Amino acid sequence: MTHLPMTPLLQDYAKISASLPGVHDSRVATLRAMAAESYRTQGLPHARVEAWRYTRLKDLETLPFSCAAALSDVSEPVEGAGLAGAVLRIVLVNGQYVESLSSQVDIPGLAVGCLREALDAGDDAVIQALDGGGADFAGAPLAALATAYMDDGVVVRVAEGVSVAPLVEVVALATVDVMPHLAFPRFLLLLGAGAEMTLVETFTGPAKGVYAVNAVTDLCMGEGARLNHYVLQAQGAEATHVSLGRCAVPAKAHYEGFVLQLGAKTARHEMRLKMQGVGGEAKLHGAYAVRGEATCDTTTVVDHIAEETITDQVFKGILDDKSHGIYQGRVHVHRNAQRINGNQLHKALLLSRSARVDCKPELEIYADDVKCSHGATVGELDDDQVFYLQARGIDVVTARALLLRAFLGEALDMISVDAVRTAFGAHATGWLDNARGVTS
């Protein structure tokens, strides 16, 4: 067995693994063992791991995080992203599903359950869908760690052909305890063929205090299903946030994703899309804003496996102070994926000379009849635009805020669900209202 220098976080494992759910199910036990071994082998990401080249999880390397489930006595209602209209809210506190804080579910064809129970019951559909349907831990050591410690989470099932009217929001709330802990919120969606729903994942926690979240989301879509999947990362300023989302898009299915990252000291959100059915379409857009000395990493991995699949990505970021933004976009077109369309664009705006952005588009194309594009720009606020607004009477601070909001707005406008676009827009504006609005 390889012993890399950086394999902390498994210190609790031997002690608690016997009490984790699904312990008597050989499939779960095997998956756990593979996950623990994968984490032992990979360790915490370091600079020599290409997929993690720019992002170090320094707090996880140096602070004594506990991986044991941290129970919390949160009793007040949980706000979430502030979505207007009908919202079915599911609340996880430190990764544990809390039914008392969650909405009552009374929609035919929709079932919300606790992951622990599903594991203990040996639920076939759930177990088969975990980790991308088969221990998909390559380049994802933190997801492996999450599966090693897999305890609780939420499973949402939507029956075939059902269109879920209210927005479904999964709020993963973290709390700060005496000891810094690492929470593992896990969410699994089983969306039946032809079913439709809008899912919002909201990651949030206290503004102050050290904590860490390592989330895993698996989205399983049936043929012809339509899923809107929106992620808001609004963690506290001292938090470490790592999340991995995986979605396989089957034939004729539509996926629309958006990730807005505005918080945390170190954040990494990775979305993996497998376009595995003919005629599948996916939009994966996002925006981020980062300041102070924070790091914000958005990584996407898109596999075009089937022919005639379409993906489109637009990401925009604002970086202030000494912050560091990362966008990595990998598009892999497999040999038989002819007549596909894959576009990708990343635009970043630097508000400070000390801010830094790394953008890494990666296109790997093995088919010969494809349309792929990628583009990246890094710039500053345009002085001519600022002056134009000033010349019309708008003060310089407002002018800058207006231009920054407009910059992010070009991405945010791609959210097709009004309530989500409005709520995410308000979060972005809130971030900008706290900006100094001055370029050094």
Partner 1 sequence: MSKGLIVTDLRVSVEGKEILKGVSLVVEPGKVHAIMGPNGSGKSTLAHVISGRPGYTVTGGSVMFDGVDVLELEPEDRAALGIFLAFQYPVEIPGVTNTTFLKTALNAQRKARGEKELDPMGFLKVLREKAKALHLPDDMLKRPLNVGFSGGEKKRNEMLQMAVLTPKLAILDETDSGLDIDALRIVAEGVNAQRSPERSFLVITHYQRLLDYIVPDVVHVLAYGRIAETGGPDLARQLEKTGYADYTGSAA
232 DSSP β-pair partners: 202, 260
140 DSSP β-pair partners: none
State the pairing for strand pair 110-114/154-158.
antiparallel
* Residue 22 vs 286, nearer CB to partner 1: 286
Exactly one of 367, 402, 414, 435 binds partner 1 (CB under 8 A); that residue is: 402
Which range binds partner 1 by CB under 8 A, 75-83, 250-258, 271-279, 403-411?
A: 403-411
**# of chain residues touching partner 1 (CB under 8 A):** 24
When asked if residue 211 is in the footprint of partner 1 (CB under 8 A), the reply is no
Minimal distance, residue 383 CB to partner 1, in Å = 7
Q: Are 234 and 204 in contact (CB under 8 A)?
A: yes
Minimal distance, residue 346 CB to partner 1, in Å = 16
Cα–Cα distance for residue pair 135/35, rounded to 1 Å: 7
Minimal distance, residue 326 CB to partner 1, in Å = 24
* Residue 324 vs 427, nearer CB to partner 1: 427
Minimal distance, residue 128 CB to partner 1, in Å = 44
- Is residue 92 classed as helix, strand or coil in its secondary structure? strand
* Residue 207 vs 406, nearer CB to partner 1: 406
DSSP class of 416? -
| Nearest by Cα to 198 from 153, 113, 255, 263 | 255
* Residue 39 vs 407, nearer CB to partner 1: 407
* Residue 34 vs 394, nearer CB to partner 1: 394
Contacts for 340 with CB less than 8 Å, ≥ 6 apart: 275, 304, 307, 308, 309, 310, 311, 333, 367, 370, 371, 372
Minimal distance, residue 377 CB to partner 1, in Å = 13
Cα–Cα distance for residue pair 381/368, rounded to 1 Å: 39
Minimal distance, residue 386 CB to partner 1, in Å = 9
Minimal distance, residue 405 CB to partner 1, in Å = 7
Cα–Cα distance for residue pair 171/187, rounded to 1 Å: 10
Total residues belonging to the chain: 440
Exactly one of 410, 416, 430, 433 binds partner 1 (CB under 8 A); that residue is: 410
Residue 122, φ and ψ in degrees, nearest 5: 65, 40
Minimal distance, residue 298 CB to partner 1, in Å = 20
Q: Which residues within the stretch 337-396 sit at the binding site for partner 1 (CB under 8 A)?
A: 382-385, 387-396
Alpha helices in 99-140 (DSSP H): 115-120, 124-133
When asked if residue 440 is in the footprint of partner 1 (CB under 8 A), the reply is no
Exactly one of 4, 138, 207, 406 binds partner 1 (CB under 8 A); that residue is: 406
Exactly one of 409, 421, 429, 435 binds partner 1 (CB under 8 A); that residue is: 409
Q: What is the DSSP track for 349-390?
A: EESSTT-EEEEEEEEEE--SSEEEEEEEEEE---HHHHHHHH
Exactly one of 405, 422, 435, 439 binds partner 1 (CB under 8 A); that residue is: 405
What residues line the site for partner 1 (CB under 8 A)? 382-385, 387-396, 398-399, 402-403, 405-407, 409-410, 413
